[in-house]
Structure 1
Amino acid sequence: MGTNDFVTLFFLVAAVLIFLQLRSVLGRRTGNEKPPYEPYNARDMAKGPGSDPADKVVTISRRNEDGTADEDRYAAVDSFAKPDTEINRSLRAFVDADPAFDPKEFVKGARMAYEMIVMAFAEGDRATLKGLLSREVYEGFDRAIADRESRGETVKSTFVGIDKIDIVQAEVRDAEAMIKLKIVSQMISATYDKSGTMIDGSAEEVAEINDIWTFARDVRSRDPNWKLVATES
């Protein structure tokens, strides 16, 4: 074999070795590879035919502060009050002012507050009342308790339960949300004078109590608690 043939064979072997090394490093094409990423083309494709607002074919629902979409933000209200009724429209206004408002949860909380308030009043528990009543209502309750105490009278009550509680009115005035409730409850209550003689009520008979109570809260406040702002019998 001549020198030229030897050199040619050497370069041929070297080329084969280099090809095999590149193949092991880069791999083989299988037909499933992703096309090369071209940033400018990708940006243009993202714009696509819908880049003009007039060409949009997919509408993304606007999300509200609580994460709900416009079409389902009133779901809790619609399940509580029949749509297209005055109460439903009023409660929807509450959701507009406070997206976290849920009428079912409100009524549940009102039930608890009602029992706490009537029992605190019977026991003369001013500390509990102060946290649940507006200043004006608290002052009225405080005067009634003080009058009772001045006569040496005591009240013994047993809360039986709430038969019915309905929202009869709801409105948002400026930033104040107000809900009026009709509450029908049952209690056993008796009032005793300072000598221990019962002077009012009954120690055994269950009496039906009908109340109209109004709760309110400032929707701008971070305090989620409602307070009793008015009472009617």
Structure 2
Amino acid sequence: MNYSFQYIDIILLAMIAGFIFLRLRGILGKKTGFEGKSPSKFKEAIKNINVEGSKILKNNFDHEAQKEFLNGAKIAYETIITDFGDNDNKITNAKPLLDKKIYEQFDEALKERTKRGHFAEITFIGINKAEIKEHKKIGNILNVTVDFIAEVITCVKDKEKKIVSGDPEKIKKIFDTWVFSRDTTSSNPNWQLVNILT
């Protein structure tokens, strides 16, 4: 009789654990490469980066201008990461945020992934930290280097949906250093990612 009560307890605990997991999943959400693009965030990123670009030049990149630039850079960072994770095998939303060299590198990586029959699932958790490492002007070109610390859940699967790399249940902390650049004489106010430092 005691054994049956123990089994009932185990079953109840398992049901409670399952319920809590589903509630957390519902509250936190799950964003993977299959959910498509996020045009509203992309438009916000372009808008913020354009506005901050004007303020930086006007205010000589003072504290307030740096703060506002980082707001745009954070949105750009998420836009680029999630666009690379989408499984339409091409960069779309993030393309205006990438210079030609970086775009070609991303595009080549996507083609290679497709050739292997792999697809990515990326859940962008958030950015823990973003700070300007340095900013300098070379001729008419203004470069701003930003250190990012972010958290994502990422994994790559093959055609049979077997995990090739990553872990769909594990949050991974990533450290990136990106360089954004803008020609101050250009009528185009857009900032672009021109380098990813390792």
Provide TM-score, normalisation by structure 2: 0.67
Structure 2, unpaired ranges of 5+: 1-53
Q: Residues 17-73 of structure 1: CA distance to partner in whole angstroms, max 9, x if unpaired? A: xxxxxxxxxxxxxxxxxxxxxxxxxxxxxxxxxxxxxxxxxxxxxxxxx9xxxxx95
Candidates 95, 109, 112, aligned match of 2:72: 109
Distance in 1 (alpha carbons) for counterparts of 2:108 and 2:115 = 10
Inter-partner Cα distance in structure 1 for 2:119 and 2:197: 23
CA distance in 1, matches of 2:128, 2:59: 30
* Pairing 1:64-75 to 2, within 5 Å after superposition: 73=59
Counterpart in the other structure of 1:211: 176
Q: Percent identity?
A: 31
Q: How many residues align?
A: 140
Trace 1:77-156 onto structure 2 (pairs within 5 A).
77=62, 79=63, 102-123=65-86, 124-156=89-121
Cα distance in 1, alignment partners of residues 130 and 109 from structure 2: 25
CA deviation after TM superposition for structure 1 residue 195, in Å: 1.2
The one-letter code sitting in structure 1 at the alignment partner of 2:142 is: A
In the alignment, what sits opposite 1:49? none
**Which residue matches 2:194?**
229
TM-score with structure 1 length normalisation?
Answer: 0.57
Cα drift, residue 222 of structure 1: 2.1
149, 166, 190: which one aligns with 1:184:
149
**Distance in 2, Cα, partners of 1:183 & 1:161:** 11
Runs of 4+ in 1 over 6 A off after TM superposition: none
1: CA distance, partners of 2:83 / 2:59: 37
Distance 2:59 2:117 in 1: 53
For residues 119 and 166 of structure 2, the distance between their equivalents in structure 1, rounded to whole angstroms, comes to 12
Q: CA deviation at 1:131?
A: 1.2
Distance 2:95 2:145 in 1: 20
SS where residue 92 of structure 2 aligns? Answer: helix
- 2:181 partner letter: A
2:51 maps to: none
Q: Flag the structure with larger Rg.
A: 1
**Amino acid across the alignment from 2:167:** S
Which has more strand, going by share of residues?
Answer: 2
Shift of the 224–231 alpha-carbon distance from structure 1 to 2, 3 Å rule, reads same
Give the RMSD, CA atoms, in angstroms: 1.8
Q: Aligned with 2:94: secondary structure?
A: helix
Give the match's secondary structure for 1:128.
Answer: coil
CA-to-aligned-CA distance 1:123-151 (integer Å, 9 cap, x gap): 14412232110000111111100000001
Find the counterpart in structure 2 of residue 164 from structure 1.
129
CA shift digits 1:163-197 (9 cap, x unpaired): 00111111011111000111000000010011110
Alpha-carbon distance in structure 2 between the residues aligned to 1:232 and 1:200: 23
